[in-house]
Amino acid sequence: MLRLYKMRRIKNDEVSFQVYCFSMNFINILILLILCICCTKSKKSTVFTALHYNIQELTTYKLQNPGKQLAEVKKAISHLKPDIFSINEIQYDLINVPSSSFKSSGENLNKLKKFLGYDYLKNQSFIIANTGKNAKRQSNGKYHTQINKKNANSYIDLVNFGLFPAQYSTGALYRFEAKKVDIIRNLRWLHFFPEDELKKFSLANGKRIPHNIELFDKSFSDTLLKINDKEVHLILLHAVPAYNFGNKNSINILRNKRQLDFLRWYVNVDGASYITAGIHPLKENSSFIIMGDLNVDINSSKPGAQSLKKLISFTQPWIKQDKMKATHPKGSLILDYILTSPDIKIIDGKILRQASSTASDHLPIWGKFEIN
């Protein structure tokens, strides 16, 4: 009997041990499942939208005295509620520019935000352009504000075209946290592209191109955003037009190409870029979104178009290339672009063709994106 009792007890102990092991395995599996669910939740993707608009000649005066143009701008875009809004051709307001009646400084982007009802976009980057920084005041202390005025050519900045300082500046509004903003404005062209011969080019008045000419007639900026705990570089560029405007020796076409060459070098999608002129390109596999009027049609024969094609071969346009149509209310030119790094998924994209030509000579472009 004792032997039988011992055998039964051993058997019962084995069963208990097996039940214990099964319970522990079940608990471990349950814990792993919970951890997996938590990890999945923490890595939930974020969907965001981006809007770009080159608003023609958006001056301090227009923002202080909104008229039909801004009414049409609001009609075209205020319903979109983007997470990122890029603006070209906005004047960076400076005191006494273009005349002593103007007293604000750096407030134009806030004025536009309020007018459009975009107050939810709490953060911003407002970048002063080089355009017009070499412009001269008239004897009455005022800058010219219209190109067709008598003797205006004597006062215009012909190097970085502009009637008055900070004309054609660049801005962005966004709801995300910005960790830092890097601005490239004073980079000398020949410091970055020393092989270029600028002597064969001239300004509209026939004078030589200055040897210290900047690469960017406006600016180049990189705002590091935090989107879904991921760093995303918002790169803004309003390139110089790839057009000569009647000056057969204009440097514009080459300058446009070189600005786009710099852009491709900077995003470093192929990992081949290295520090040049003291500037660090992005690390390989960085996330980025490029927004702006790149001022060359990708289908044209201009040298800048070839640079743009190379850039697009490594990135993603907001609309498939074969579906792109004019970004102008009139004409057929595709000049405005949103381009992203390969890791950002493009959900949707469009050109807002309903926008009036009264609002601008460019159309707004919009995209919907997803990032993990």
Is-contact 255 241, C-beta < 8 A?
Answer: no
What pLDDT is stored for residue 321 in this prediction? 87
Give the C-alpha separation, 58 to 56, whole Å. Answer: 6
Residue carrying the six token digits 């953060």? 123
In order, the DSSP letters of 242-297 are S--TT-TT-SHHHHHHHHHHHHHHHH-TTS----BTTBPPPPTT-EEEEEEE--S-
pLDDT in tens, 240-261: 999 999 999 999 999 999 999 9
Give the C-alpha separation, 203 to 194, whole Å. Answer: 20
Residue 306: name the closest of 251, 240, 244, 257 by CA: 257
Put simply, whether the predicted model's pTM sits higher than 0.85 gets the answer yes
Amino acid at 369: F
The number of beta carbons lying within 10 Å of the beta carbon of residue 156 is: 20
User: Quick check: 40 pLDDT over 80?
Assistant: no
Residue carrying the six token digits 């060459």? 261
E strand or H helix that includes residue 10: helix 2-42
Over residues 106-117, the mean pLDDT reads 98
Is-contact 146 110, C-beta < 8 A?
Answer: no
In order, the DSSP letters of 303-353 are HHHHHHHHHHHHSEESS-GGG---SSSSSS---EEEEE-TTSEEEEEEE-T
pLDDT in tens, 214-234: 999 999 999 999 998 899 999
What pLDDT is stored for residue 13 in this prediction? 54
pLDDT in tens, 48-88: 999 999 999 999 999 999 999 999 999 999 999 999 999 99
pLDDT in tens, 148-207: 877 888 899 999 999 999 999 999 999 999 999 999 999 999 999 999 999 999 999 999
User: Quick check: 108 pLDDT over 50?
Assistant: yes
User: Quick check: 357 pLDDT over 70?
Assistant: yes
Handedness of CA 295, 49, 351, 146 (dihedral sign): negative
What pLDDT is stored for residue 63 in this prediction? 98
**Residue 188 DSSP class:** B
